């Protein structure tokens, strides 16, 4: 990743909400527009693409790095989630990020913190089923972050497509007033969606992991060619199992507009226009997710 770093400088940063607000006020006084990219760190090209998008859309790009304890269940990987702050800061500088918010958990959730944000409907299927605590934690922290930054635009990856829809909804419902932009999924050469969690994969698993996107693409292609949803997904399941994947949390076709379920038969023209396929599957101890608009297969 060193080639992405133009120099050794790192962006200014703060660990406090007050420090963040000061800097935002400074940008506003200068009449500058602001883009915001929230992350959990262990950055890769997917995150940096969002920062670059931010710089295209606004004068300043603010990023945050916060491994949000509220979105991890007790059995999940909060303790082992990769943390690489020094490298992250250099990468952010290389991508043109102006300022970084690096709160500790106590800054985001001081003693007495008692509010949680729940987005009904959109939070319920897919990851809402397999990770019941997840969207509550995400919605709560993102509502806080959006409110703290009050950016003109906030950018989220389509890699976490359900999350993007949940955040659009909460931004509207809570009158936050930022424009929520989705950034395209950045992939490795074999199609694997970049993810901080890919670092958990062994070399054998890493070779298998590329099959997730291949199966996703094949399934999407079948749907565009008039294949029925149930049969196409059953075939995909078998391919994933054969490739070496473990539990498949979900493998479903849903509307990209509102996540309403599609199928079991073949898709109508109207359904095809918005259909997406969503997969979450275990590979060893690592949970991988991916999704794709079927007409882009
Ligand atoms: P995370 O650090 O995993 O919480 O992700 C921070 C932001 O980066 C979220 O909006 C993600 O959807 C986005 N993101 C993560 N991986 C990718 C990727 N491969 N391509 C595009 N965006 C991504």
> Is-contact 296 261, C-beta < 8 A?
no
| Ligand 1 pocket test target in 158, 159, 183 with most atoms within 8 Å of CB | 159
Nearest atom in ligand 1 to 184's CA: 21
pLDDT top residue among 8 and 25? 25
Pocket of ligand 1 (CB under 6 A): 39-40, 46-47, 49-50, 156-157, 159-160, 183, 185-186, 193-196
**Distance between CA atoms of residues 291 and 249, nearest Å:** 13
- Centroid of ligand 1 to alpha carbon of 190 (angstroms): 18
At residue 5, the pLDDT reads: 45
- Centroid of ligand 1 to alpha carbon of 122 (angstroms): 19
**Distance between CA atoms of residues 66 and 148, nearest Å:** 14
Residue carrying structure tokens 């509010």: 115
Is 196-296 CATH 3.30.1300.10? yes
Residue carrying structure tokens 């760190």: 41
Work out the widest C-alpha separation in the chain, in whole angstroms. Answer: 59
At residue 4, the pLDDT reads: 45
**Distance between CA atoms of residues 126 and 27, nearest Å:** 39
Per-residue pLDDT tens for 13-51? 999 999 999 999 999 999 999 999 999 999 999 999 999
Nearest atom in ligand 1 to 194's CA: 19
Per-residue pLDDT tens for 60-109? 999 999 999 999 999 999 999 999 999 999 999 999 999 999 999 999 99
Please list the active-site residues. Answer: 47
131 DSSP 8-state letter: S
At residue 9, the pLDDT reads: 87
- Centroid of ligand 1 to alpha carbon of 198 (angstroms): 12
Mean pLDDT value across residues 202-223: 98
pTM of the model: 0.96
Per the prediction, the chain carries an average pLDDT of 96
- Is 3's pLDDT higher than 70? no
Per-residue pLDDT tens for 148-189? 999 999 999 999 999 999 999 999 999 999 999 999 999 999
For the chain, give every domain's residue range: 12-183, 196-296
Domain 12-183, CATH homologous superfamily name and number: HUPs (3.40.50.620)
- Is 1's pLDDT higher than 70? no
Separation of first and last alpha carbons in the chain: 28
| Ligand 1 pocket test target in 35, 37, 38, 39 with most atoms within 8 Å of CB | 39
- Centroid of ligand 1 to alpha carbon of 268 (angstroms): 31
């Amino acid at each position: 990743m060193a080639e992405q770093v133009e120099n050794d400088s790192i962006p200014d940063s703060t660990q406090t909400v007050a420090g963040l607000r000061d800097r935002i006020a400074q940008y506003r006084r200068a009449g500058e527009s602001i883009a915001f990219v929230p992350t959990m760190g262990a950055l890769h090209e997917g995150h940096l693409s969002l920062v670059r998008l931010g710089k295209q859309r606004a004068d300043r790009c603010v990023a945050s790095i916060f491994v949000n304890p509220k979105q991890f269940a007790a059995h999940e990987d909060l303790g082992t989630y990769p943390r690489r702050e020094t490298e992250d800061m250099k990468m952010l500088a290389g991508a043109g990020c102006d300022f970084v918010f690096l709160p500790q958990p106590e800054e985001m959730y001081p003693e007495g913190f008692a509010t949680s944000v729940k987005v009904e409907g959109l939070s319920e299927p897919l990851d809402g089923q397999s990770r019941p605590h997840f969207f509550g934690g995400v919605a709560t922290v993102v509502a806080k972050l959006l409110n703290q930054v009050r950016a003109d635009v906030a950018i989220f990856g389509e890699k976490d497509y359900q999350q993007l829809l949940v955040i659009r909804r909460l931004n509207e419902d809570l009158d936050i007033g930022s424009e929520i932009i989705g950034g395209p999924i950045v992939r490795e050469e074999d199609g694997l969606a970049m993810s901080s969690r890919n670092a958990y994969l062994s070399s054998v698993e890493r070779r298998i992991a590329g099959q997730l996107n291949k199966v996703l693409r094949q399934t999407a292609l079948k749907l565009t060619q008039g294949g029925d949803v149930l049969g196409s997904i059953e075939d995909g399941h078998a391919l994933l199992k054969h490739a070496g994947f473990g539990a498949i949390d979900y493998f479903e076709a849903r509307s990209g507009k509102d996540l309403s379920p599609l199928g079991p038969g073949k898709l109508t023209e109207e359904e095809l226009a918005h259909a997406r396929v969503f997969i979450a599957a275990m590979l060893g101890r690592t949970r991988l997710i991916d999704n794709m608009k079927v007409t882009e297969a």
